[in-house]
Structure 1
């Protein structure tokens, strides 16, 4: 008989969130249940209830986990871009991939459809904190903070929309699959050029 390794509460939560993220990417948000996550990590349903309180608590923790990971990656890309080591397209690709390949778009829509809107708070809060941090690193040009906020709104909404219906819509319009990414890149480059000219 195999002996289960005793995990600290932090390790247990971390393993559960990694399993939840894998389930989200593999099978969609409806697959992220306490029972499925417990089975994936060899724990009990009661153990996960202890850590998350409920299925919506697990979703909220997963949203926060995804938001932190995504924002950290985007933060690094923005800093690299500002240092001349990256491009606007890399920032766009990271945002779009977060909502598409990493499952944030599916999780967002699932939470909205199931009435768990408050689980979106960690995503919105983490993005807001990142934007404020990036705006603070900009020159004190008039309107700079508002431009960064508008750019973020545009990028997140385009990435979310693309994750949900981008493939089907691009196909029906006879556009390449990455048309939304190209458009987002052009908009972001134009905004960055306007910022530099100010």
Structure 2
């Protein structure tokens, strides 16, 4: 008879959040249930209730976990771009991928549809903190770019494929426009 490895409370939470992230990416936000996550990590439903309180709590913590992970990558890309080691396109691709391939767009829309608007707070707070952290001298213009880039990435994740086809544009058109926006801002700040 196999025994389960005893995890610390923090290790158990991280394992659950990583399993929830995988479910989100593979099967969509509706698949992220306490039962499914528990089964994936070999824990009980009660164990996850202890850590998250409810499915809404799991979704809120998943949003916080995803956003913190994604914003850390974006922060690194922005700093690399500023030092000449990266490019605005790296920042654009990471942001668009976060909302599309990493599932943040699907999770955000699911939270809105299910009425779990509080789960969006960690997303907004983490993006705000990232902008403040990186905002050496950009002020309102940099915040405008962050708002536009985030909304473009979210919209692209939700409707980019069908809309670009309907408008007879290449699938990467929104990413190209976002990159152009960032490059123009950099040139202005020159």
TM-score, with structure 1 as normaliser: 0.95
Give the Cα–Cα distance (whole angstroms) in 2 for the partners of residues 2 and 166 of structure 1.
47
Q: Which runs of 5+ in 1 are unaligned?
A: 139-143
- Separation (CA, whole Å) in 1 of partners of 2:118 and 2:18: 21
Structural RMSD (CA): 0.6
Pairs aligned (count) = 190
Alpha-carbon distance in structure 2 between the residues aligned to 1:131 and 1:56:
27
Q: Secondary structure at the match of 2:180?
A: helix
Who is 2:12 aligned against? 12
Partner Cα separation in structure 2 for residue 109 and residue 193 of structure 1: 34
Deviation of 1:40 (Å): 0.3
Aligned counterpart, 2:95? 95
Alignment of 1:165-176 (within 5 A): 165-176=159-170
Aligned residue number for residue 126 of structure 2: 126
Q: Distance in 2 between matches of 1:162 and 1:35?
A: 31
Name the SS of the counterpart of 1:90 in structure 2: helix
1:187 aligns with 2:177: no
> How is 1:42-191 mapped onto 2 (pairs within 5 angstroms)?
42-135=42-135, 137-138=136-137, 144-191=138-185
After TM superposition, list the pairs within 5 Å mapping 1:30-49 onto structure 2: 30-49=30-49
Partner-residue secondary structure (3-state), 1:86: coil
Normalised to the residue count of structure 2, the TM-score between the two structures is 0.99
**Local SS of the residue matching 1:174:** coil
